[in-house]
Amino acid sequence: MNALCTGSFDPITVGHFDLIKRTAALFEGVVVAVTNNSEKKYMFSLEERLGFARSALAPLSNVKVVACDGWVADLAEKEGCDVIVRSARNGGDFDYESPIARLNLEKSGVETLILPADPALSWISSTLVRETIKYGKDYSALLPEGVSLEKKEK
């Protein structure tokens, strides 16, 4: 079985890496889709986010990184993924992910598995990393090994 993990990864964090590493241990193959929503403002371009994800995930031999700008469940089918794997850091994340999971099942027949985040990493988010960058603080411990961001002026 193959799994699809999605996110904007703006940028990828140690929490994302942990989820994908755990998913890679459970499934034969994992496709990581870096999503791109034209209505959302990103700190990093799609190309940068793809590069960060590829650098971070290079040690995981059964993981590939692709771009996604459409319906995630359609990408799962195209990539031969049997399930979408998402993470929940807290109850709010679970409440957000549950209806999306149901919609993907109803409209595309793709199941979603929601894995709880590692409690030690559950406080880390891309938003937090972007704020840390914005204020010129050290963000290196929030990023996976192999990822180096250039601070962007906003």
Catalytic residues: 16, 40, 89, 126
Q: What is the DSSP string of 13-52?
A: -HHHHHHHHHHHHHSSEEEEEEE--TTS--SS-HHHHHHH
Minimal CA–CA distance to 33: which of 87, 60, 69, 77? 69
Categorise residue 24: left if φ over 0, alpha if ψ from -120 to 50, beta otherwise: alpha
Categorise residue 146: left if φ over 0, alpha if ψ from -120 to 50, beta otherwise: left
Give Rg (Cα) of the chain: 15
Would you state the structure tokens that stand for residue 18, as one six-digit string? 């942990």
> Before 59, cis peptide (omega within 30)?
no
